[in-house]
Amino acid sequence: MVKQKEEEMVVCPVGRFFMDLQRVSGKKSGFFEHLSRSQVEFLKAIRSLVDEKIETLEFKKQAREGKKATKIEVEEG
């Protein structure tokens, strides 16, 4: 007999929290409206973190590209 592997589903704890709250509350409740808005705000917060990281990486790249070695002649004597 062949044993079937059980697939494990990994869910982000924050996503699971929102899913559990949606299941408990009705979709027509005021709670659901607040929850939906909070999901949007949470995603906007994540987006702002990602945007900041992108800007930091781009700034570092530009700073590296702007630097050039200068050859200095040294007199022996």
Q: Does any domain span residue 8?
A: no
Residue 53: domain span: 13-66
Give how many domains the chain has, as a whole number.
1
Q: Does any domain span residue 44?
A: yes
Q: Does any domain span residue 22?
A: yes
Q: Does any domain span residue 58?
A: yes
Q: Does any domain span residue 33?
A: yes
Give pLDDT, residue 6.
Answer: 57
% of the chain beyond a pLDDT of 90: 19
Query: pLDDT tens across 17-32, in order?
Result: 877 877 777 667 787 7
Q: Does any domain span residue 71?
A: no
| Contact (CB, 8 A) for 45 and 31 | no
Is the pLDDT assigned to residue 51 strictly greater than 90?
A: yes
Q: Does any domain span residue 31?
A: yes
Q: Does any domain span residue 1?
A: no
Distances (CA, A) of 73 to 67, 70, 76: 19, 10, 10
Is the pLDDT assigned to residue 3 strictly greater than 80?
A: no
Q: Which residues of 38-49 are buried (b: 16+ CB within 10 A; e: fewer)?
A: eeeeeeeeeeee
DSSP letter assigned to residue 3:
P
Tokens at residue 43, please?
């995603």
